[in-house]
Amino acid sequence: MVHYLIGNLGHLMIILSLVTAFVSFIAYFKAVQMKNLTWERYANWSYYFHVLSLIGVLIVLFLIINKHYFEYHYAWNYSSKYLPIYYQISSFWNGQEGSFLLWMFWNAMLGLVLIKTNKFWKSSVMAVMTFTQFCLTTLILGVVIFDLKIGSSPFLLLRDVVQDSVFVVNPEFIPEDGNGLNPLLQNYWMVIHPPTLFLGFASTVVPFAYAVAGLWMGKFKEWIRPALPWAQFAAMILGIGILMGAYWAYETLNFGGYWNWDPVENAIYIPWLTLIAGIHTMIAYKKNENALKAALILVLVTYLLILYSTFLTRSGVLGETSVHSFTDLGLSGQLLLFLVLFLLGCIMLLVSVWKKIPSTDKEISVYSREFWIFMGATVLCLMAFQVVIPTSIPVYNEVLGIFGIMSNLAPPADPAQFYSKFQLWFAVGIALLSGTGQFFWWRQMNFRTFKTEIQRPLMISLIVSTIIFVLAEVREVPYMVLLTASIYSITANCAILLRLKRTNMKLSGGSIAHIGVGLMLIGILFSSGYSKILSKNNTGLLYSNEFPDEINLNNLLLFLNEPREMGDYSLVYKGIRKKTLDLGYVDANLLTETDNPLLLQATEDIYIDSELRISKGDQVQITNNENSYFEVLYKKDNGDQFVLYPRVQLNNQMGTVYSPDIKRTFTADMYTHVRTFPDPAQETDWGEIQEYQVAVGDDFFINDYVATFKKMERIEQIEGVSLRENDVAVKAFIEIQGEYQNYMATPIYLIKDQMAGKIPMIVYDLAAQITIESIDPEEDTFTFGVRRSQKDWIIMEAVEKPFINLLWIGTLLLCFGFFIAILRRYEEFMTFRNKGLES
C-alpha cells in the first residue's frame, strides 16, 4: 500500500517552513525599520515555528528512508532494505534535496543561537538570516507554476519521477528494494563529513549577516566584534570539513591521494581562503581603518563564493569535468537567480554607503602589524583567485555559448602540476609572512629590534632545514624553499608561543594555528612531492614496439600465492576474503551465500591461526555482501611483514568500486589499491583434462604441486543427493602441498541407479579441479582427472606517501588554534554586550 499521508505531511511542512521563514523575514525587517519590539517578538515566534516545521520535514524524510517506503523516489533511489542505520543517515544527504535540508537545518540552528546571544543585532542579523533561509527553502519546494519549476521536493513518489510501464499497469506498485546508497558513500566519514561541511557552509552566513546588518544600520565598525568569533568558527568548521573530505578521498577513492583539484573540492577551498583573509583584516581593523573596507568586502565575497560554489556543483554546469557533482535537478536557473540577487544586493548596499565607511589616507608602516596582515590577506586572496579562474572554465564555455560563440576550453590536463606551480609559491609567501608577522603582533618594532628578534628563529630554521635536506634528500629548489619557509614559520611561532605561555595563553590561538599551517605545508610537500609509486613495472618487457618508451606502467600483476619483488618488499597475493563481523577476514571460497545477504555459510571447516573457528555449515555475520577484500602480504628482507586488504565493492547499480587499504606508520603510509581482477561473473575456463592413474599412497602432480593419494572411503551420505540401497559412493582423499599450506581435495565417485556420477573438487588456491574418472578394482587404482585454469590474479598499484601524518596533525592544530581564538573573541563580545556596548 502506498503511504500517501507521510509524503503529503512532509510537503505541507515544507510549505509551512517557507511561509514562516518569509513571515519572520518581513517581521524582522519591520522590527529594524520601526525599532519596534513587538515586531521582533512576533518575528521570533514565527521563526520558532519555522524551525519546528523544518525539523518536521527532516523527521518525515528520515522516516521514509528508515521505514523503506520505496514508493518514494528518495528512499528508492538512495537507500535499500539492508542498509544499516548509520548509512541510512548518509542516504539522507545522498540526494541534492537532502543536502539542502541539511544546510537549512544548520542555518536554522545558528539562527536560534543568534536570537539567544544578541540584543542589539538580533533583528537586523536575523532579517538577513531568514531571507537566506527563505531562498534555500524554495529550492526544495517542488511546485510548478505555469511551467516554471520552483525547487525540487524530496517527497516525490517514484511513479512521478520514473516513467515505467509497470506504473501504467499498476499505479500502486511498490518496488521490493531500493537502489541502495552509492558505494563510495558507504564509509563512516560520509556519515560525519557532510554535516560538518554543511555546518561550515551554513555558518559563513553569520559574518555575512553581521556585515550586511552593519552596512544597513550604519554601524560600519561595530559589526566586527560579534562577527569575528563566528567567522573564526566558520573557518574552523570548514577546515575540519575539508580535512574530513580529503581523508575520505584518501581512504576510499582510488586516485591515490587526498586532493585532486576537482572543481567540487576547489569550490570549497576558494571561500575558505577568502574567509581566512577576511578574518585577518577583521583583526586588523582596530588600528587601521583601511582594513575595514577590506574586511567588509572579504566577508561579503566569501558568502557570494559559497553561493557560487553551490551553483557550480549543483547546476550541472561542471558536466564531465567533475567526478562528484550532483545530479542536475533543473535548479540551475534558480541557483543562478539567487547568486545574482545576492551579488547585486551586496554591490548596491556597498555603493550606497561606500563614502560613509571610515577610511584613512595614512600610509602604513612596514613595522606595523597591519602591514603584515595586509600582505598575508593579499596572498590568501591571490591564492583563491588563482584557483577560481581555471575552476570556472566550464562557466566561460557556457557564457560564451549564450552569445553563440563555441568555446572548447577544457581544464588543464594535469591539474596537480598546474595548480601546484602557483600554490607552492603562495604557500611560501604565507609561511614567511605568518612567521614574520607574529613578531610585530606583540611588540612595537623598529629595524633594530626586528633584527634581534628574527635572528634566532632564522638561524634555527636554516639549520633544521639543512639537516632535513640531507636526511630526506630534498634536492628540488622549490621544495627546498617551501620547506625552509615552513620551518621558519613553525620556529618563529613556537618562539611566540613560549613567550605567551608565561603571559596569557588565551592569546595563543594565532601562533598555534600558524604552527599548524607550517606542519600542513611540510606534510603536503612530502606526501605529494615525494609520493613514490613502488609498483612501477620493472619486468623489462616492453608491451609493444609501436609505443613510445616514456610510458610508465605503474601497476603490478600478482598471481595467487606467487611472490613478486617490489622495491624492498616481497609481495604475495593470498586470495579473496570476506570481512566477518566477529572473526575478521575469512577466505571467500569457503563461504557461500544464504537467503539473508548479511549472513554467509561456511562450506568447509574454517581455521584461523590453525584453530577451528567456524565449523562447516555454521553461519557468519558480515556487514556488506558486496564487499570483497584482496589479501596482500608485504614482507621485508629483515623479516618485517604486514598484510593489506584493499577492497572491491560490486554494486548492481553503480558497478565496481575499488578502495585502497593503507598501512600507516609515522614516517610514511603504504597505500595499496587494486585496479582490476578477474571478472567474478565470468565462468572459469577449465582446460584440457589430464589423467593420472594412482594407487593409495602414490605421489603425483597437480598443477605442478606434489599431491599424495592418502586414502579412499566409502561414504553413506552426500549432501544434496539421496542415496538408495543399491547406490555406491566413494570419496578419495588427496593431500596437495601448496606454497603456504596443504590442501585436502576430496572428489567423489558415485554409482546411483546404475549410472556413474562424478562430483569434482575445486582447489581455488591452486586453480585445479579434480575428479575421480574411474576406479579399477582389479589393480586397486584410481584414475584422477585434473583440469587447470588460470590462477587467480590482481593488478594493483602501491604508493608510498611519506609524512602524510604531518598534514593531518597540522590541520587539527590549525583548527585548535581557531578554537582558542574563538573563545577569546567570543568572551570579548560577551563582555561588551553585557555592558550594553554592543553598538
Partner 1 sequence: MKKSHIIGILVIAMAMGIILITAGDASSYVTFDEAKRRESDGDRSKIHVVGKLKKANSDEVIDIIPSDDQLSFTFVMLDESGAEQKVFHPNPIPQDFDRSEQVVVVGSYQKGLFIADKILLKCPSKYQEEEIKI
Chain contacts with partner 1 (rule: CB under 8 A): 77, 158, 161-162, 164, 166, 175-177, 179, 320, 323, 327, 363-364, 366, 374-375, 378, 382, 385-386, 389-390, 393, 408-414, 418, 422, 537, 539, 541, 543-544, 546-548, 551-555, 557, 652-656, 675-676, 793, 795
In whole angstroms, give the CA distance from residue 586 to residue 567. 29
Q: Retrieve residue 148's grid coordinates.
A: 516554471
Sign of CA dihedral 299, 300, 304, 305: negative
Half-sphere exposure of 765 (CA within 13 A, CB side): 22
Secondary structure string (H, E, C) spanning 476-495: CHHHHHHHHHHHHHHHHHHH
The residue (of 3 and 675) whose beta carbon lies closer to partner 1 is: 675
User: Min. distance of Cβ 359 from partner 1 in angstroms?
Assistant: 12
Element (H, E) at 395: helix 393-402
User: Min. distance of Cβ 92 from partner 1 in angstroms?
Assistant: 18
In whole angstroms, give the CA distance from residue 735 to residue 509. 68
User: Min. distance of Cβ 567 from partner 1 in angstroms?
Assistant: 17
Q: Is residue 318 within 8 Å of residue 263, measured between CB atoms?
A: yes
The residue (of 77 and 107) whose beta carbon lies closer to partner 1 is: 77
User: Min. distance of Cβ 788 from partner 1 in angstroms?
Assistant: 19
Identity of residue 48: Y
Q: Is residue 450 within 8 Å of residue 472, measured between CB atoms?
A: no
The residue (of 241 and 646) whose beta carbon lies closer to partner 1 is: 646
Q: Which of 673, 669, 636 is nearest to 802 (CA)?
A: 669
In whole angstroms, give the CA distance from residue 199 to residue 520. 23
User: Min. distance of Cβ 374 from partner 1 in angstroms?
Assistant: 8
User: Min. distance of Cβ 671 from partner 1 in angstroms?
Assistant: 16
User: Min. distance of Cβ 235 from partner 1 in angstroms?
Assistant: 23
The residue (of 673 and 825) whose beta carbon lies closer to partner 1 is: 673
User: Min. distance of Cβ 77 from partner 1 in angstroms?
Assistant: 6
The residue (of 185 and 606) whose beta carbon lies closer to partner 1 is: 185
In whole angstroms, give the CA distance from residue 376 to residue 427. 10
User: Min. distance of Cβ 209 from partner 1 in angstroms?
Assistant: 29
The residue (of 410 and 830) whose beta carbon lies closer to partner 1 is: 410
Q: Is residue 543 within 8 Å of residue 512, measured between CB atoms?
A: no
In whole angstroms, give the CA distance from residue 631 to residue 588. 11
The residue (of 548 and 720) whose beta carbon lies closer to partner 1 is: 548
User: Min. distance of Cβ 312 from partner 1 in angstroms?
Assistant: 17
Q: In which residue are the cell numbers 605561555 written?
A: 501
Contacts of 371 (CB under 8 A, 6+ apart): 364, 365, 440
The residue (of 382 and 775) whose beta carbon lies closer to partner 1 is: 382
The residue (of 403 and 543) whose beta carbon lies closer to partner 1 is: 543
Q: Is residue 732 within 8 Å of residue 772, measured between CB atoms?
A: yes
The residue (of 145 and 681) whose beta carbon lies closer to partner 1 is: 681
The residue (of 707 and 799) whose beta carbon lies closer to partner 1 is: 799
Q: Which of 193, 190, 210 is nearest to 201 (CA)?
A: 193
Backbone torsion region of residue 549, taken as left when φ is above 0, otherwise alpha when ψ lies between -120 and 50, otherwise beta: alpha
Backbone angles phi, psi at 562, to 5 degrees: -105, 110
Q: Is residue 799 within 8 Å of residue 519, measured between CB atoms?
A: no
User: Min. distance of Cβ 220 from partner 1 in angstroms?
Assistant: 20
Q: Which of 644, 829, 684, 651 is nearest to 766 (CA)?
A: 684
